[in-house]
Structure 1
Amino acid sequence: MDYYQVPTLILLWLLVAVFAALNIQRRNWRRRLWLAGWLLTATQMLLECLGAHGPWATAGITCCGTLGMLMFLGSLAVPFVGQRRIAWVAIFAVPTLAYVIMATVENPAGPLVYAAEVSATVACAVVAVAWSTRPVYTPAWVTVGWSSAISIICLYFALRNDPGRVMQVAEAGIGIWTALLIGAVYRRPTPGVIFTAAGFVVWHAASVLVTIFAVSSSYLLLVGRSSNLVRVVAAVGMIALVLEEETRENAEAQRRDRQARREMERYAALYFPVGPHEDFIPLYRAVVEAASEASAFSLVGVLVRQVQGRMRLAALAGANDMQAAALERLAAELTEPELMSAWEEAQVRRGHRFEVGDLDLCRWFSQMDAAEFSADDPVRGIGISTRAGDLQGVILLGERKNPAERFMPEDLMPLHLLASRLAAARESSAMQRRVAQSERLAGIGRLAGGVAHELNNPLTVVMGYAELMEEIPVSEKMHEYAGVIRREAHRMRQVIEGLTRFWRPSPSPVAAMDLERILRRLEEVLRPECERQGVRLEVSAETGLPAARANGERLEQVLKQLVSNAAQAAASDGEEARVRMEAGHGEEHLRIVVSNSGAGFQEPERLFDPFATLKPRDEGAGLAMSLCYSMIRELGGDMSAYNLQPRGAAVIVELPVAMPDEPGSFRSEARGA
């Protein structure tokens, strides 16, 4: 036993214990491999100090040294399969260890030893070439040149039947290459990097020189003891390197916390309106400007899903003209089913973690549009979703301000919270819009009911006297006047009945209805009339829609009225006239959207008020839309009206889903078919 090595051995094992404690405190794949490498190195030194003898003991000592060096090299290797970064080393680690064991145990060397040596050399060459083709830390000629030089030297000693020197040169080549990688990976002249890299170089350069040149036994002993001391220096340097990394990570974390705090303060200063009829366009512009100013992204936009399911680029900041045009085309071509499918996939993939973006929007860019954006910073998005999970829009994230800066998924937390606030504001505004409409219509209904009740009795008297006047033998002119009074009084009674119905809807029989069949039948009836007005009618329905709980006759009356109004609005616009009628899923209901390309409603929030009109004021008023609203309420549904951007209008009819055991003519016909 070499007692001169005991203090160095004890010191090395103490450093290994310190390294283990640091690894427990904060674990990652690189520290695990470093800890394994130092455990193997310390074990090798322990076996050397104990003076182990015999071929198998020598094989164990050599394997510990070689495998330890492979651990250090593997910690700095680029990934080969997924995140298994040691896979590069594993390709030639197995044949190398096999050669070490067989060359040590089998003496003289036989065919198996030579086969293992050839396998290890070929594996080294394959790894070097494959590694040089990947984006690694060193130039390709350095990687291939160093591995080729080590392989040639090893082959030279192998031809001289000197396996001991082959193993020493191979281990030294791995160690010196590890030192070069440490400098290439960290690229900073800190004490940890200098001590670690210099320790590895001196540690293995001395053994290579002793291996190549013949030296005396006393000098060899001195080199061995100095080499063990240099191992301690390298271990101290690697511990210092770990501490430096922790210091840098802590400083970086503090910087990111400050950045996130400033970003949150900037977003908190935004005013989010929650009124029932707020215009969100100014808010979208303020959001993208604030995000472009405070976040890590310079290009920020907002895609909003409109009521008819189409996407629209509502606001954009930090983009040039070509990028803005590309995003406009993306919004025009992106369909709701595609976006919802990608959103659901992202939700499953993301879980509860913050990622660089919920949605990868690059898949929908054409090749020409994709070229307008940096390949290193693809356009991604953060979903704007309600609490029920309904996707309302997307916050677009493009080019980063500092692409060289490491980006962490947690950096998106302020933007996720901003998207949540935006979704909550939209949801609250929609809820207040519904409540305000219900309260207003309820008040109007009570007023209309009172007026109808007060007018009904006097009107009955007027109609009675008008009929008596028609029966009295008077002049023909008086009979004509009496007929006019009776007809107009009858018309007034119809208006009063409409007001009464609006105030107190009467329940109507309902059944399970197939919306797609209803829409297709209406398409056949309404298309000729639309074409006569120069309007293109488009009808669509999502596949797999459940049956709706509705009255077929009244639902058709409502849809006919909506399509008729939409066709008139589109035909009077003068541009490409188009009316769309679409059926699809809502959050908790089925919905039918009737939209047109016209100029939009003057006051969409008052569309369903009694006597509200879609015609010019000098053409009179009616009860058509209020009666439509009353009919849908009778069915347990709801109606709402919106203006589209940049032009157009839409009316949404919401219907409840039929119960599974509810009877229905359309459903039974479909089953019978």
Structure 2
Amino acid sequence: MPDPLAKLPTVILLGVLVVIFAALLKQNKTFRFRLWFLGWAIIFVRFVLQMIWKFLGISMPVYAAIDLTALQVAGIIFMVSVSALAETKWRNLYFVYFGSSVAVYAFSLTHGIESPWAYLAILLFMSVMPTYNLVRHAGATAWNYGMLASAWAVILWSVYKAFDGRPELGFYGFMMWIYGASAFLFYRKYQRLTPGIVATSLGFLAWSALVPVGHIVHYTPIGREMASDLWNLPKFIVAFGMIVTLLEDERIAAVAAGQREQQMSQQMRRFADLISHLYSGAAVSEVCAQVTQVITETTNFRRAVIVLADGPNRYQIAGHAGFDAIQLQKTSGCVDAMTDEMFLGLARPQSRIGTNSYRARSNYDMMRIQPIDADQPWGEDHKVVIPMNSPGRGVVGAIGLDEPRVPADINPAGLVMVELLATDIAGALDNSKLQKQLFRSEKLAGMGQLVTGVAHELNNPLTAILGYSEILGDRAADAATKRDLDVMRREALRMKRIIENLQRFSRQQRTEKKVVEVRPILEDVLKLRSYDLHASNIRLTQDIQPRSMRVFADETLIHQVLMNILNNAMDAVEGQDDKRIGLEARVQGEQVQIRVFDNGPGFSELTRVFDPFYTTKGPGKGTGLGLSICYGIIRDHGGDIVASNLQPQGASITILLPLHVERTQRAPLATDTMA
């Protein structure tokens, strides 16, 4: 019988290795490395037990069962550590399942159970869970089916040997398969030819090969002395290979971290340049193409698109990168079908990835972008959507990201810079809007002062012209003179109306604001124009929300604004064969939204729509003050008015007025309770 102290050098070396693994475990706490530490700890305890089992008074059958079980369980731990089973939520159950099966098999062998049916039951029990997992969850790949086929070949061979009276050969065959599978799984997991990977994979192969070799050599005259050394050498190769693999991983991780830091630095510089460009006054729509190009070059995503709001419930692509013609056409279809409600529906807690980024998928059949749960595996039609939120206007657009280079790297940290960029673009849009409003307000204020003086100076001579033309008309005897005087009086009256419009433009009139309902005002405007709409063969569509739409406003002025906008729409469709005008009114958040749209030619210069004296009508048909007056009235009511063109043709004017809420319907403000 061999001397127990002969195992001492091996035990000391394994103890040193276990201490090294324990030290490295403090730096690398991954589940895989914890399994490696556990596997080597079991092997270390197994060798210690080989030295002291007699001193502990353990019987030979029990010791042999523990020895076989420990070696088999360690192999199972190593195999599972580099397989997909280590990443499932049932991984702890797998260890209990396989460990208990192996222990029952080993105790049956060492306690002289000879019934082949017992071993058949154990082997079938061991095969149920891995077979189910591979078929149901792992996927139908050639690799998975190859592993399953090889495992079943070993199981069937073990059953055959059990009925042949040699059940121990089935146990050793299963052990050989475990260590052989560990070799292939280890290389497949890392897929690189580095010293650590090569040493570990070859060590597992040698460990597997020494199962039959060691069993054969054990029965040769010199085998009993050398078999122990043959068994131990592959173990040390595997152990040192794993340590080298860990060091290689740390080196690769350090290099990757350096590259990521360099990429992040480059990304931050380029994003900073774009943000500086945005806040320097550059048009956001002109910068969007550059933004998407930078995103595709510095992030994990190959495709990027920026969508901006172009009025209520309308969005358009402002910039894109990485799209081919077909992809862009499909994406444009989805964007054209987007509404404010659909955009808000994407921001679900279940879909959240980062602070302000969400998972979604494109349903091209329904032309919709739908939210999905953030933990779903990445699919071909999946996207990351980052809304651009404005404090005063809600969602003003979004950044869409697609086709990640590495789907597993989609995480909050990788989206932080893009989320910040989305916030900056929303801020730039707000700044641009405020600058335009400030410029227009200053322009209107200057024009108003000029108009006030001009109107006052023109009123006096005009009054004289009207008075004398009337007197001369009464004195004129012949018809020709009277006709000429009538023309002069008619043109003087037209000049008087222009002056009145100038006075309205300069806001030289008092307002009487009160709480009014919008719906009756709309109905009155439509009633007044119903005859002209019918006579002009104009088809009017209405979508007026039945719920209350109360605003604090001057009813006469709001009536004037709506009448002016409807008249403009009627003039715009005058030359169309199919004349169509639409009217929508609804409560949108804390605002009342009124929209009038038509299928006319649209605005030729959107930036000048509300400029004073700008008109697209023919001579004598308009002064160019109508929409300027409307703009001033709506802004004076704390609202907003937006003009936009429709595709393929048409124009739209949208009015936004603050929704009036009764004092009893809101929480009291601090100022309400102050004495």
Task: Give the structure-1-normalised TM-score.
Answer: 0.79
> d(CA) in 2 for partners of 1:448 and 1:220?
115
- Map Cα deviations across residues 167-226 of structure 1 (whole Å, 9 max, x no partner): 443333212211111122222221111221122222233234344676269734642354
> d(CA) in 2 for partners of 1:543 and 1:255?
59
250, 257, 261: which one aligns with 2:261: 257
Per-residue deviation, 1:383: 2.8
> d(CA) in 2 for partners of 1:545 and 1:205?
83
Superposed, 1:275-424 pairs within 5 Å as 280-291=284-295, 297-342=301-346, 344-345=347-348, 349-352=352-355, 358-365=358-365, 378=381, 380-388=383-391, 390-399=394-403, 407=409, 409=411, 410-412=413-415, 415-424=418-427
**Other-structure match for 1:77:** 83
Amino acid at match of 1:562: I
> d(CA) in 2 for partners of 1:575 and 1:418?
46
> d(CA) in 2 for partners of 1:310 and 1:348?
23
> d(CA) in 2 for partners of 1:528 and 1:359?
52
135, 154, 159: which one aligns with 2:163: 159
Amino acid at match of 2:82: L
Alpha-carbon contact 1:306-1:644 (below 8 Å) kept? no
Which secondary structure state, in structure 2, belongs to the residue aligned with residue 511 of structure 1?
Answer: strand
User: Structure 1 residues 533 and 76, CA, compared in 2 at 3 Å: closer, same or farther?
Assistant: farther
> d(CA) in 1 for partners of 2:108 and 2:12?
31
Which secondary structure state, in structure 1, belongs to the residue aligned with residue 566 of structure 2?
Answer: helix
Superposed, 1:548-563 pairs within 5 Å as 548-550=551-553, 554-563=557-566
Unaligned stretches of 5+ in structure 1? 370-374, 664-673
90, 105, 113: which one aligns with 1:108: 113
User: Structure 1 residues 486 and 128, CA, compared in 2 at 3 Å: closer, same or farther?
Assistant: closer
**Other-structure match for 2:183:** 179
> d(CA) in 2 for partners of 1:99 and 1:525?
94
Which secondary structure state, in structure 1, belongs to the residue aligned with residue 342 of structure 2?
Answer: helix
Amino acid at match of 1:445: G
Amino acid at match of 1:601: F
Per-residue deviation, 1:72: 2.0
> d(CA) in 2 for partners of 1:247 and 1:576?
71
- Map Cα deviations across residues 53-95 of structure 1 (whole Å, 9 max, x no partner): 2466655544443333222222222269x85373894695266
User: Structure 1 residues 576 and 282, CA, compared in 2 at 3 Å: closer, same or farther?
Assistant: farther
User: Structure 1 residues 40 and 627, CA, compared in 2 at 3 Å: closer, same or farther?
Assistant: same
Alpha-carbon contact 2:119-2:167 (below 8 Å) kept? no
Instruction: Point out the more displaced range, 11-20 or 423-432.
Output: 11-20
Per-residue deviation, 1:237: 0.7
Alpha-carbon contact 1:34-1:72 (below 8 Å) kept? yes
User: Structure 1 residues 545 and 470, CA, compared in 2 at 3 Å: closer, same or farther?
Assistant: same
> d(CA) in 2 for partners of 1:112 and 1:521?
92
421, 437, 440: which one aligns with 1:437: 440
**Other-structure match for 1:666:** none
Superposed, 1:485-504 pairs within 5 Å as 496=499, 498-502=501-505, 503-504=507-508
Q: Does 1:67 align with 2:70?
A: no
User: Structure 1 residues 224 and 164, CA, compared in 2 at 3 Å: closer, same or farther?
Assistant: farther
User: Structure 1 residues 590 and 204, CA, compared in 2 at 3 Å: closer, same or farther?
Assistant: same
Alpha-carbon contact 2:389-2:396 (below 8 Å) kept? yes
Superposed, 1:81-96 pairs within 5 Å as 83-84=88-89, 86=91, 89=94, 93=98, 96=101
User: Structure 1 residues 275 and 524, CA, compared in 2 at 3 Å: closer, same or farther?
Assistant: farther
198, 201, 206: which one aligns with 1:197: 201
> d(CA) in 1 for partners of 2:66 and 2:526?
84
Unaligned stretches of 5+ in structure 2? 370-377, 666-675
Aligned CA-pair RMSD: 4.5
Alpha-carbon contact 1:384-1:394 (below 8 Å) kept? yes
Which secondary structure state, in structure 2, belongs to the residue aligned with residue 312 of structure 1?
Answer: strand
Amino acid at match of 1:436: F
Amino acid at match of 2:363: R
**Other-structure match for 1:372:** none
User: Structure 1 residues 2 and 634, CA, compared in 2 at 3 Å: closer, same or farther?
Assistant: same
Per-residue deviation, 1:266: 4.6
> d(CA) in 2 for partners of 1:109 and 1:40?
28
Amino acid at match of 1:305: A
Amino acid at match of 1:641: A
> d(CA) in 1 for partners of 2:484 and 2:301?
77
**Other-structure match for 1:248:** 252
Per-residue deviation, 1:435: 1.9
**Other-structure match for 1:27:** 29
**Other-structure match for 2:642:** 640
User: Structure 1 residues 318 and 660, CA, compared in 2 at 3 Å: closer, same or farther?
Assistant: same
Q: Does 1:119 align with 2:121?
A: no
Instruction: Point out the more displaced range, 650-659 or 303-312.
Output: 303-312
Amino acid at match of 2:631: Y
- Map Cα deviations across residues 284-327 of structure 1 (whole Å, 9 max, x no partner): 34444555566565544433331142232344444443333333
Instruction: Point out the more displaced range, 495-504 or 17-26.
Output: 495-504
User: Structure 1 residues 169 and 127, CA, compared in 2 at 3 Å: closer, same or farther?
Assistant: farther
**Other-structure match for 1:99:** 104
Alpha-carbon contact 1:79-1:88 (below 8 Å) kept? no
> d(CA) in 1 for partners of 2:213 and 2:533?
94
> d(CA) in 2 for partners of 1:166 and 1:172?
10
User: Structure 1 residues 596 and 333, CA, compared in 2 at 3 Å: closer, same or farther?
Assistant: same
Per-residue deviation, 1:256: 3.3
189, 209, 220: which one aligns with 2:213: 209
User: Structure 1 residues 66 and 431, CA, compared in 2 at 3 Å: closer, same or farther?
Assistant: farther
Per-residue deviation, 1:335: 3.8
- Map Cα deviations across residues 464-513 of structure 1 (whole Å, 9 max, x no partner): 7788x599x95568999998888877766665555444425533333263
Amino acid at match of 1:84: K
Amino acid at match of 2:198: I
Amino acid at match of 1:77: S
> d(CA) in 1 for partners of 2:296 and 2:72?
52
> d(CA) in 2 for partners of 1:649 and 1:34?
69
Per-residue deviation, 1:132: 7.2
Instruction: Point out the more displaced range, 230-239 or 220-229.
Output: 220-229
Instruction: Point out the more displaced range, 165-174 or 234-243.
Output: 165-174
| Sequence identity percentage | 26
Per-residue deviation, 1:456: 5.5
Alpha-carbon contact 2:214-2:231 (below 8 Å) kept? no
- Map Cα deviations across residues 604-645 of structure 1 (whole Å, 9 max, x no partner): 444445544342345341643344334434533232334456
> d(CA) in 2 for partners of 1:212 and 1:153?
18
Per-residue deviation, 1:390: 3.3
> d(CA) in 2 for partners of 1:528 and 1:217?
118
**Other-structure match for 1:224:** 228
Amino acid at match of 1:364: Y
Per-residue deviation, 1:434: 1.8
Which secondary structure state, in structure 2, belongs to the residue aligned with residue 385 of structure 1?
Answer: strand
Superposed, 1:587-606 pairs within 5 Å as 589-606=591-608
> d(CA) in 2 for partners of 1:523 and 1:172?
88
Per-residue deviation, 1:241: 0.9
Size of the aligned set, in residue pairs, is 643
- Map Cα deviations across residues 497-537 of structure 1 (whole Å, 9 max, x no partner): 5544442553333326366x876886787677556545554
> d(CA) in 1 for partners of 2:190 and 2:606?
62
Per-residue deviation, 1:408: 5.0
User: Structure 1 residues 406 and 347, CA, compared in 2 at 3 Å: closer, same or farther?
Assistant: closer
**Other-structure match for 2:146:** 142
Which secondary structure state, in structure 2, belongs to the residue aligned with residue 619 of structure 1?
Answer: coil
Alpha-carbon contact 1:505-1:631 (below 8 Å) kept? no
